[in-house]
Structure 1
Amino acid sequence: MQFVPFEEGIEVIGLAVRSVLDGFSQFAVLASAYLLDEGIGRPGPSGVAHLELDAWYSQRAWLLCFQQISRQLGDGVVTQIGMAVPRNATFPPGAQDIHGALKSLDVAYHMNHRKHGRPMFDPGTGRMEEGIGHYGYEPVRGQRRIISVCATPYPCAFDMGILMSLSRRYERGVRVTHDESKPCRKNGGPHCTYVLSW
């Protein structure tokens, strides 16, 4: 199910939250209205929400922001926000190809969240905290295809945008499709399944 946190006490780093502004492109003032309505950031002099990039913001508030954007503007805008995430969020270094990038996505996801004030991924120990779900990575042997099962509280369209943007850094012709034969969070399912092929 989308828009509902799995646990309370989860926060998102401001660097990742900035994706909302980037996803709206030249309509950042409109994006700001959604963020400010949920108490995220503070009004800047130009009308654009000011976000502290190293500050932490409520995941619940961010999900409510997504819910309003989705209801009022549709999935296309939510996908655009997702496409902005790889440009903004912290990712572990070292990905050389689409496989490395998709394999590191779950770690990056946890690096950009914290739970009760503690980071959800510790690069020193490799320890990952539960509470926000996961981005799956399953390469299909002998094919140029990856299956990604995303079990997160974020919107289906948002995850589609993240997968598209991240994978196209390494394979320009990659095609990302939602497996319609599987459950979907838009319909109350626990996860969505995406197929990446090139």
Structure 2
Amino acid sequence: MQFVPFEEGIEVKGQAVKAVVDGFSNFAVLGSAYLLDEGIGTPNAKGQAHLDLEGWYSQRSWLLCFQQIGKQLGDGLLTQIGMAIPRSVQLPEGIRDIYSALKAVDVAYHLNHRKNGRPMFDLETGRMVEGIGHYGYEPVPGQRKIISLCETPYPCAFDHGVLTAMAQRYESSARVVHDETKPCRKWRGDRCTYVITW
């Protein structure tokens, strides 16, 4: 299901939160207003949200921001915000192709969230903390195809954008399709399935 945190007290890094403003592109002021409406950031002299990129913000508030954007402006904008994520967030090292890029999405996801004051992925130990779900990674042997089973509290359209941006960064012809034969979080399912081909 979308927009509902799996656990209370989870926080999101400011770099990721900034993707809302980036996703609005030329209408960043509007994106900023959605953040401020949910208590994210502080208004600057122009009334726009000032975000501490190294700071941490409530995941619950960020999800409420997504919910309002989706309700008022639609899935297209949520997809655009998702596509801004890979440009904004900390990514693990060693990404060299579409396979390593899509495998790294789950690590990056956990790196940019924290629980009890600690990032949910430790780069030194490789330890991942549960509490926010996962971006799956299943390459199909002998085919240029990867299946990603996403079980996160984020909107389906947002995750579609994240996967598209990561895939197209390394394979410009990559296409991400939501598998309509499977459950969808938009319709109260607990996960969505995306098929990435190139």
Range into which the TM-score falls when normalised by the shorter chain: over 0.9
Distance apart, 1:137 and its partner CA? 0.4
CA offsets, 1:125-174, max 9 Å, x none? 11100000000000001100000000000000000000011100110011
- The residue matched to 1:7 in structure 2 has which SS? coil
Amino acid at match of 2:105: L
Determine the C-alpha separation between the residues in 1 that align with 2:2 and 2:178: 15
Determine the C-alpha separation between the residues in 2 that align with 1:145 and 1:3: 29
- The residue matched to 1:127 in structure 2 has which SS? coil
Determine the C-alpha separation between the residues in 1 that align with 2:44 and 2:6: 32
TM-score scaled to structure 1, two decimals? Answer: 0.99
Determine the C-alpha separation between the residues in 2 that align with 1:141 and 1:191: 23
TM-score scaled to structure 2, two decimals? Answer: 0.99
Structure 2 equivalent of residue 68 of structure 1: 68
Structure 2 equivalent of residue 79 of structure 1: 79
Determine the C-alpha separation between the residues in 1 that align with 2:101 and 2:153: 21
Structure 2 equivalent of residue 193 of structure 1: 193
Structure 2 equivalent of residue 117 of structure 1: 117
Determine the C-alpha separation between the residues in 1 that align with 2:175 and 2:41: 35
Matches within 5 A, 1:87-102: 87-102=87-102
Percent of aligned positions with the same letter in both sequences? Answer: 70
Structure 1 equivalent of residue 2 of structure 2: 2
Structure 1 runs of 4+ off > 3 angstroms?
none
Structure 2 equivalent of residue 183 of structure 1: 183
Determine the C-alpha separation between the residues in 1 that align with 2:116 and 2:59: 12
User: For this pair of structures, how many residues does the alignment match?
Assistant: 198
Matches within 5 A, 1:134-173: 134-173=134-173
